[in-house]
């Protein structure tokens, strides 16, 4: 159902509720927005926009679209989740098509599941439009795979704090042998380091932090678990993704720090020297070499 369908239906009788799209617009690079997201954004009459959505996404809005900022940022004055859900429901009940616009993927630490359940519980049609999560984009920016047969058997996406401001089970995560992709962890980066070290993770485990993954102002830091908090001293801050695990050690060597290229003289021989060309003796030449292949065939000796 699109905006035209809803308008036609409402013109024919009593007011009917609209539809809500939970739209993930990716990590920030506008070229990573999906075709389906672009269509949903163009259809929507109202956008309820999270704080981390880049301004360039507004280029996908139709003329006259109502923009409502409803951002939430840790440690800052924000719109409450309850208020966001109530406002979304209000617009949908008024018969409008609503795009609940979120950075990354709405179902990966985006509270998309909570919002979808709330709206469906009130009889509102909801469609989720997935986006590329910032954790995946951070790995791509570093040039690494999150899973690798030679380094790890899996990947774990985890937020640095649970509901009620608790902590994840860092002991279980340290023992998992998976790549850890940690969201919303910059304010707790030192405590994350300490918890994983206490849990037995190696101090030299490779680690990285990617701030504003895929955006023009992206910044990166690489090091080890032991030096993880140095990312703060290097100027990285939220929003950022923390990645920890052996696979992080496969970050490609940058051009500035690449080793000096070896010369041919430094390389071991690949092929054996070619054998010397054997020229026929004068006697062999006289017996046939100088008279063409027919002479050789006629005189096999």
Q: Catalytic residues, which ones?
A: 50, 72, 184
Residue with tokens 């380094």: 151
Rounded distance, CA 105 to CA 110, Å?
A: 7
Tokens of 4: 């035209």
Sheet holding 155-159, edge to edge: 155-159, 179-183, 240-244, 206-211, 219-224
The CA distances from residue 124 to 10, 17, 20, 21, 118, in Å, are 15, 7, 7, 10, 9
DSSP-derived secondary structure letter, 17: -
- Phi/psi at 247 (5° precision): -65, -25
Q: What angle do CA 131, 246, 174 make, to 5 degrees?
A: 85
């Amino acid at each position: 159902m699109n905006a035209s369908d809803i308008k036609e239906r409402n013109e024919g009788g009593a007011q009917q509720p609209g539809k809500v799209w939970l739209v993930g617009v990716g990590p920030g690079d506008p070229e990573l927005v999906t075709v389906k997201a672009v269509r949903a954004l163009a259809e929507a009459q109202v956008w309820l926009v999270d704080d981390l959505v880049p301004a360039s996404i507004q280029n996908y809005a139709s003329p006259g679209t109502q923009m409502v900022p409803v951002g939430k940022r840790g440690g800052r004055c924000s719109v409450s989740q309850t208020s966001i859900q109530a406002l979304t429901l209000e617009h949908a009940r008024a018969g409008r098509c609503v795009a609940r616009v979120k950075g990354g993927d709405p179902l990966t630490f985006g509270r998309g599941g909570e919002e979808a359940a709330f709206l469906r519980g009130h009889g509102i049609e909801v469609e989720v439009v997935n986006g590329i999560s910032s954790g995946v984009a951070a790995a791509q920016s570093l040039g690494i795979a999150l899973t690798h047969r030679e380094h790890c058997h899996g990947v774990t996406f985890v937020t640095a704090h649970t509901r009620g401001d608790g902590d994840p089970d860092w002991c279980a995560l340290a023992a998992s042998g998976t790549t850890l992709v940690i969201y919303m962890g910059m304010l707790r980066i030192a405590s994350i380091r300490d918890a994983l070290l206490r849990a037995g993770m190696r101090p030299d485990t490779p680690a990285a932090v990617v701030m504003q993954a895929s955006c023009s102002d992206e910044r990166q830091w690489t090091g080890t678990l032991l030096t993880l908090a140095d990312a703060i001293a290097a100027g990285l801050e939220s929003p950022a993704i923390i990645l920890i695990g052996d696979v992080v050690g496969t970050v490609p060597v940058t051009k500035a720090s690449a080793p000096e290229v070896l010369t041919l003289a430094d390389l071991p021989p690949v092929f054996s020297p070619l054998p010397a060309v054997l020229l026929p003796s004068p006697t062999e030449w006289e017996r046939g070499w100088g008279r063409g292949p027919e002479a050789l065939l006629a005189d096999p000796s």
